[in-house]
Amino acid sequence: MTAWIDPDRKIVSRYVAQLRLGSHARFVYTQVLHDFQAVAERRRVVDRKTLEVWLREWGAHRKRSTLLHRARIVDRFLDQLVELKLITSNPIAVLRSELNVKQCRPIWQALASRKPDQALAALRRPKPFGSVLGDIMREHIERMRKRGYRYTTQAAWFLRFDRFLQANPELASEPVTTMLEHWATARSTRNHAAECEKLKHALTKALRQRDPSVPPRRLDARAQNEAARHFRKPHIYSPADVQRMLEIARSYPSLRFPLRSATLYAALVLAYCSGLRRSELARLDLGDVDLRNGTITIRETKFFKTRILPLTDTVMAELRAYIDARRRAGASQDLESALFWNCQGNGRYTSTAIAWLLVDIIRRAGLKPGIGTGRTGPRLHDLRHSMVVNRMLQWYRSGINPQDRLPFLATYLGHRDINSTLVYITVTQDLMQEASERFRVVGARCLACVEGARP
């Protein structure tokens, strides 16, 4: 990796000019890159040692945070030099590949430390699927994804098991059953036991692809059921809770973004009335709302499903009011633009941003403890649980048998079958009372028929 030859600093000038920076930022970038080039010319090579020398000299009288920010400027400039073929490779990229580290910042921090070799060694991560079973697990993941499955959760199980095998090389010569036994005892949590059981089932499928003589393994649901008993129970929002959150959303403070309160109000209405997931809210486009037919289209969400949801007149009225406010705020009217428009970035709220803002509304409503109290109190996803429970209550009170409507509810929520929907049915006092009343009416009628038939 020889140093590039540029005595007139023209390459640096062109690089900084194409970034379109302000005057102060342009001065900072130019100064940093000139100083780095001086070190590279003195050493006549761009390698890890050159980076360490520049970090030591340039950071001698600067704060650590400032040094790391300036290092990022150098990092991007080195990528540009590689693209122009003025150097063979970026030393940071080489170290990231060798150590299997995704981010650049930890590499720079290690190089700027007093003992770079030890700091870099501590960053080293095992190579994905580098264990004795790595090829089998990787092939199985690729096979399942070619069949149309996302297979992200299962891939995470395999990666954790793969890292465990690499950390315990003495297990490489042991039978697979022994490896799994050691992995099961690595942690004592209920969730780990359930994950181990599902991993055994998935790994058996992978092994059978190579060796059909491997006996199939039936999934034992006891570990998963035991873990589910200790899951965090959902909070069912009452109509009064939802009304209080809607009032807070309508007056949500945001001086820089006047449309934010209307956006949060509309998002909260859809989250509760339609049971939409936060990712589904974030991916909605303006063209997905059909104001004429009163429907909204949810495209390619979980399980690769696209569904068209009918909405009530009141929900459509709120969406129509929001779309008018969105137009007056100057948002793009392109049908592929984000429904929940943000004037910054790419014009779209991310699912993380939507979740943070709606959870903040839950806190402001007094339903959830303040920031810093951990994962306590009601969750945003509990709105989806509440939608299901309250819909069941409405059916009971209207004299409708909920069991007949469960397939429709599963389709509305985007579930594969009603088993997934049953998870959302939390038994509340009101729901138990309505179910008991229905049983009393039906049971009394049946009892009267039986008594009338006696001689």
115 catalytic per annotation: no
Pick the catalytic residue: 138, 277, 283, 391? 277
Q: Residue 299: what are its φ and ψ, rounded to 5°?
A: -105, 135
Nearest CA among 249, 433, 232 for reference residue 340 = 249
277 catalytic per annotation: yes
Pick the catalytic residue: 163, 217, 302, 307? 302
Nearest CA among 243, 279, 234 for reference residue 377 = 234
- Cβ pair 301, 279 in contact under 8 A: yes
Q: How would you write the chain as a 3-class SS string?
A: CECCCCCCCHHHHHHHHHCCCCHHHHHHHHHHHHHHHHHHHHHCECCHHHHHHHHHHHCCCCCHHHHHHHHHHHHHHHHHHHHCCCCCCCHHHHHHHHHCCCCCHHHHHHHCCCCHHHHHHHHCCCCCCCCCCHHHHHHHHHHHHHCCCCCHHHHHHHHHHHHHHHHCHHHCCCCHHHHHHHHHCCCCCHHHHHHHHHHHHHHHHHHHHHCCCCCCCCCCCHHHHHHHCCCCCCCCCCHHHHHHHHHHHHCCCCCCCCCHHHHHHHHHHHHHHCCCCHHHHHHCEHHHEECCCCEEEECCCHHHCCEEEECCHHHHHHHHHHHHHHHHCCCCCCCCCECCECCCCCCECCHHHHHHHHHHHHHHCCCCCCCCCCCCCCCCCHHHHHHHHHHHHHHHHCCCCHHHHHHHHHHHHCCCCHHHHHCCCCCCHHHHHHHHHHHHHHHHHHHHHHHHCCC
Pairing of strands 289-290, 307-310: unpaired
Q: Is 95 exposed, middle or buried (0-12, 13-18, 19+ CB in 10 A)?
A: buried
Q: Give residue for tokens 């580290």.
A: 101
Residues marked active site are found at 277, 302
